[in-house]
Each structure stands twice: as structure tokens, then as C-alpha cells.
Amino acid sequence: MISNISFTYRSLYSKKAMGDSMNTNIYAYISIIALIVCIPPAIIVEGPQLMKYGFNDAIAKVGLTKFISDLFWVGMFYHLYNQLATNTLERVAPLTHAVGNVLKRVFVIGFSILVFGNKISTQTGIGTGIAIAGVATYSFIKAKMEEEKRVSFILEYGDKHEYSRLIFVFGLQVASC
């Protein structure tokens, strides 16, 4: 729950900060701030045990080369995922971005159930159902509002210009008559 709230605030403040700045710069600033905020508690809370058990056990299990390679690729894909999320945020509203994030999480849960055979708990099932219902409701309301905007536009401007009515297909202007 804390990660969802943090993600939402990060999206809202990132969208506000984008203004004239390039989204890559905003992502870089957010990454630096996150590093400064997260590293000290991580070292204090998990540092000694991570060094004593975590790294040593992982290296003993898969070998140093594979461990470093996997660590690199996990970091690379996580960076690319966050960069894509920031680029997407530049193009959509924060609410749409949040809904997309919920859909992504539902997809990951469903994918892990189908591909890896993970068992789904009652709590996970209820949460996934609520998420799907919320996304469906949001999509329905947004589509309804877009349709109302199109209809009001056509009613307002359709009769004023006898020879320049706009033809709309799926919300896109495709021709003028």
C-alpha cells in the first residue's frame, strides 16, 4: 500500500515538474533523490546481514559472474521500465498513468499464475478483482465523457458552418466537407 501511495505522489509531482523540462531530466532528478533517501536506511537496516548472508549465499549458489550479470540486467531492465513510465507520464494524465500501473500489476499477477503456476490467495483474488473493476469503471466513465464531448462539439459547431462540417470517426477528425 505504501508503494502505491508513493508511486501516485511521484507521478503527480513528476507531471507537475515536467512543464518545460525534458522528462529524462525529471527522471534523473527523481532517481538521485530516491538514491539519497533510500541508501542510508538500507545500509543501516539490511547492510550487515546483506553482506554476511545475502551476497555470499547468492554467489555460492550461482557463481560470481552470473551474480554480477544478473544484478546488472535486473538494474538495467528496472531503469528502462522506469524511464518508459516517465516517458508515458509525459503523454498522459496522472490518473490514466495510475490506472495503467494498476493494470500492469494485475497482468503480472495473472501472468505469474498462468506461467509459473503460483497459487492465488483469497486476498490476492479479491484485490485483483477490485483492481479490474476499478479500471473497468474508470474506462467506462472516461469513454462516456469523451462521447459527450464529441456530441456537444458536433451540436455546437455542426450547424454553424454549412459547408465545413467535421466528420469524426472514433474521435479523430478524418475529413472536412
Q: pLDDT value at position 63?
A: 93
- Residue 20 CA to residue 124 CA, distance in Å, equals 41
Give residue limits of the domains in the chain: 1-91, 93-177
Q: pLDDT-based confidence at 8, cuts 50/70/90?
A: low
pTM of the model: 0.55
Higher pLDDT, 174 or 121: 121
Candidates 97, 125, 90; CA nearest to 110 is: 125
Q: What is the per-residue pLDDT across 141-164, written as a single tens digit (0 to 9) for each? A: 877 887 888 777 767 765 555 444
Question: pLDDT-based confidence at 100, cuts 50/70/90?
Answer: confident
